[in-house]
Chain A
Amino acid sequence: MLTVSGLTKRFGGFIALNKVSFEVIEGEILGLIGPNGSGKTTAFNCISGALATSEGSIRFQGEEIVGMTPDAICHRGLARTFQIPRPFRKLSILENVAVAAHFGATVRTSEAEARHRAVEVLGLVGLPADPEADPTLLGAGGLKKLELARALATRPKLLLADESLGGLDPTEMASAADMLRRVRGELGVTIVWVEHIMATLMRVVDRVVVLDHGEKIAEGPPAAIAEDPRVIEAYLGEKVVLA
């Protein structure tokens, strides 16, 4: 569904991503992990068009998307969330999601349909669809949900979820992991999930790609990744957490 090959991103002389290649298969939840600064978020930014790719190719459903603007990529059915939630503070929670549903949808959506869709998606993630509700009053968990709702409102085929569980307590984490499973199950959305908290991630994903210092060091099913010596080394012996 998504084929990343030879993806390279340089910031001046610093190489944030070095010839990274991986594939996302339709219907799976792929975990993208790696220590801090390993290039996970940079990869997301390149794929979603927020950053210009230096070299390499990214094909989404057979189409080259390197060089496309973020809105064009969104219209093709590739949505993303941000690591640090970026709600539109001047809009209500409902408007935040409705604006995504109206402008970002893969199919033409009228304003009325967009509002309807927003109510639906907010229900799915468990936020109030009150047209007056102010996003600045949401806590960390609520903001993550809003972030997810906004991305889902665009009816994506592939969702890039960036560290959706950072800053959540264990209960919220479990329910958020469950949420991603439901997103795949009920909406049929393929997911690439970047996450720091690996114990949770390992239980949900089908496959894992591991980045370290901008390079792919391992790829495979969670059980094999947890035993991979290079991964353990990269994580400075976090084997306990992985298992």
Chain B
Amino acid sequence: MNNTESRRITKINGFTILKKKIFRVLICIIVMNTFIISSFFVPNVYGLQEEIDSEFGESPIIDGYIDFSSNEWNEATKVPIELGDLPISLWVMQDEINLYISIQFELEGYAHKDTEFVGMIISNSSSIIPEEFLDVKIVQFSNKTSNDFIFLDYNINNSEFLNDTKQNGMGAAKIEGIDSTYEFSIPINEVGGDENMQDVLLEYGNMYAFNITYGETPVYPGGIKKSEIVLITIKNLSITEPPLWDLVFFILNIIIFSILGILYGFYIYKIFKLKEKIERIKR
């Protein structure tokens, strides 16, 4: 083998080694990327549920009717969610005593069943494992045309729905045409109200999983047709911001509109004065 030939072989071998190195580096980059990207996916797997922060507001009347003229539910956090194939509007708010939840959806008249119900299965924590869901609140219609309904409070024992000895909370509903409105109120921090631990104790500042359910027959849990889990955070009492800025802006708005009104009146007066002036000049 002469000199030039051996140099050529070394060159070819060098190129092959270089190619192998590039290939290895590329493989390493792909593996690292896979790890990095998958680490972003992990929290998303847990974060599939809609997270809702409850807001403080004036307590609504639980009667199945939302009175817009009195700004009822005005401060609630409003989230559109899908209950299976049924789009619903979920409103969440609280005061110092209760957590308030309203569920609204539209269904064609024929689709509304006489024994329609909406319920909430409440978890003991933010965990969505079935064993953690212990408390159930249901508003059950018995006759939609006469708007007859009952509020039911159950506890779950080994997947079995058992009647609470003492009802905790309130619920009401109304079906008007295609619109269904359900309203619930659930006590927060009610210690001692439930000796048999039949209800989940909702505490300030904690997140709880709520399974929103819809059904057409009063059989539980067999009658549940659609459901969706949401995570609701109950706001801490200390986090409530004093509405000082709101008050400042409100007073400022009063001042602005008042000055504007006075200036407008003065301007109209000046216009009439100008008319008189023009007529005087004409004469």
A-B complex is real: no
Q: Which residues of A contact B (CB under 8 A)?
A: none
